[in-house]
Amino acid sequence: MPLSILYRGRLSSCNYDCPYCPFAKHHDSRAALEHDARDLRRFVDWAAGQARMLSILFTPWGEGLVRRHYRDAMVSLSHLRHLRRVAIQTNLCVGTRWLDEANLDTLALWCTYHPGQVSRTAFVKRCQELHRRGVRHSVGMVAMQEHLDEIDALRDALPASVPMWLNAYDERPAGYYSEGDVERLKQVDPHFLLNLEPPPSLGAPCATGEDVVSVNGNGEVTRCHFVAAPLGNLYDGSFERYLGARPCPNARCDCYIGYAHRKDLPIQRDYATGLLERIRR
């Protein structure tokens, strides 16, 4: 059975200083970065030795592509014959030359624009380069009130074929979005309401723990990033015996990398093979 893996290693550093992010301008020590690189090499080696089809999404607590070991991992994984997709969440702050060595049939980027950290002109130029190269990518933003005009401007600046997604601002007070705001944002991302007002999750059917798992740098496997109960370890294979269909144990799931795997929502149908990189079919 194909297996999708959400990998989150030790990396927690970022070169950006977004006010809504707890890892803004955090710096990893050299020892932590070296440990993260060793963990990642071990994971890539494990993936290379698998026979089943794999899809992999890197979801670091920080910016991975500024680190060479993540770029190298993306390139190496993209060439595996049994790899369906390898993607990473990124602020797209690095150049694109590293993509020369990648297999663009399998590689994809989940790109986030952060106003105040980079100019729209510079960010759009990077997106245009990805488009020119034929790199699968989605683009999105956190829908803060002060950025509503910027959201529209970015949508207008991007090629129509590039999908754009929006995350609701987590720290919003009650009534943060007006009805008009919500309708405006739905014009950019038709699935915005699933992020803003996710339906109750408890007992909902979910693919996590069945054909989707989360893995940390030690190889410890859980069903997803938001359920801490261990399923075993990736490297000794102990997680395999615990894979199976099970309902969601959480009351609420408001993060795309969680609710995207719910079987009762339209996400799986609408995104299909672009689920990990957040690209609608």
**Contact yes or no for 222/229 (Cβ under 8 A):** yes
| 279 found inside a domain | no
Domain count of the fold of the chain? 1
| 281 found inside a domain | no
Q: What is the pTM of this model?
A: 0.96
Query: What domain range includes position 77?
Result: 3-274
Residues of the chain with pLDDT under 70: 22-25
| 280 found inside a domain | no
| 267 found inside a domain | yes
pLDDT at residue number 24: 60
Residues 246-259 pLDDT 10s: 999 999 999 999 99
pLDDT at residue number 121: 97
| 70 found inside a domain | yes
* CATH code of the domain in which 217 resides: 3.20.20
pLDDT at residue number 25: 65
| 254 found inside a domain | yes
pLDDT at residue number 281: 77
